[in-house]
Structure 1
C-alpha cells in the first residue's frame, strides 16, 4: 500500500506489520511520551519533561531515532522533542528510548506543522532536519519541508540566536534549502569555510539514511543557519 498523504511533507505512514513487542510499546510508551496538542503548551515549555532541563532541541523527522536517542543520552539536561509520522520509525525509536531509560524525550507522531504551530514563540534552542524526504521529482518539490511557510513557523518557534541544522545528500535539496533559508529574513547561514558544511556537527553519531547515502556513493552536506 502506498500510504502517501496528499499535501503532506512525508510519504508513507506505515511499513511492515509491527511485532507484538513493538505494538505494545506503541500502545503504552508512546502515549506517555507524546505531546498533547489538544492542551495548551506549558509555560515554560521545559515543563513537558519530568526533570529539569536547561534548553530544548527539536528534531523533525527522526527516522529510526538514532540521532535523537544519541543526543538525548549525551545531554540529559536538554529536553528533546522528536517528530516522526512513520509508524515503524517511531516503533524503533521507542525501543531505543526504553532500553536507554531516557526521560528527556517527548514525541509527536504526526506532521510537524501541527507541533510547530502549537509551540510557544521563542521556545526552542536548536532544530534539526536530517536527511528529509527530498521529493526529487519537480512536480513534488512543493512537498519539500523547507519552504517559506514552514520557515516562518520555525522562525517563530526558535529563540533569537538559535540554530536550525539541516543535512542531506541530495544536491538539489541542499541548493533548494540554501536558496530558501538565505532568502528568509529571520535566518543567516553561519558557514565561514567549506568544512563548515562538508563536515558533520560535533558529536555526530550518523544516521541510517546517511549510511545508505555513503554506501551508494553520495556524501552528506551539513548546513547550519542562525535565527536572528
Structure 2
C-alpha cells in the first residue's frame, strides 16, 4: 500500500504539531498539509486530495462537521475526528468517521486509530477492485431546506422518479435528490440495485418475493411489505437475479 496522504486540520498549533509528530517515522503516512480552519481545509482538500484528514470538531467559524457537509461525498477522505469533548462521538460516527480521538491524545489510542485507517483503506481498495475499478457512491448529500443531510446508500430500499427528482426510500423517511432517475441509475452498483420499472429502481436484497401479474407484468413485495410494480421489460431479468 502506498503512503497515505494526510491533512491535519485544527485551530490549535500545538494540537497540529502533536499529530504531525506522531506520524513522523511512519512510512505509510505522509503529511501533505496543515490547516487552522474549515475554509482553508476545504481548499486544501480540493488541491491536495488527501487520503486521510485528522479533523478538529470545534473550530472558529465552520466546525469539522460543517466542513464535511461542504464536500461532495465521493471526494470525502477518511476522517479521524479530534476533540476534547466526548459528546460528539455519536455524531462523528454518523458522519462515517473512521475514528474519534479525545484530547489530550493517548499514544496507544492514536496507534489504534492508524490501524483503523489502514483497514478502511484496504477495504476501499478491495471494493474498487471487485467492482472493476469503478467506485460507486456510499452516500448522497440531500438538501433539506437550508441544511444538507447525508443519505446512506446502504439504507435505501427503493427509488422512485418524481419529476426532476428521485425519491430515496429508506425505512424511516424519503429523501429527495435533485437528479433524474436515468442519471442516478448509472451511478449505482448494478450488483446491488436494479431498474424494475421506468420510474422505479429497487435494492435487490430488499425483495422478499416476486409474483406474476396481468399482461406479463409482475409485482415485487419488499421485506417491509412495500409492493412495487415490475414491468414486463424488467420482470424476467429480476427473476433471474433473484434465482441466483
Q: TM-score, normalised by structure 2?
A: 0.30
The structure, 1 or 2, with the larger RCO (C-alpha pairs under 8 Å, 6+ apart) is 1
- Identify, as 1 or 2, the structure richer in strand: 2
TM-score using structure 1 length: 0.31
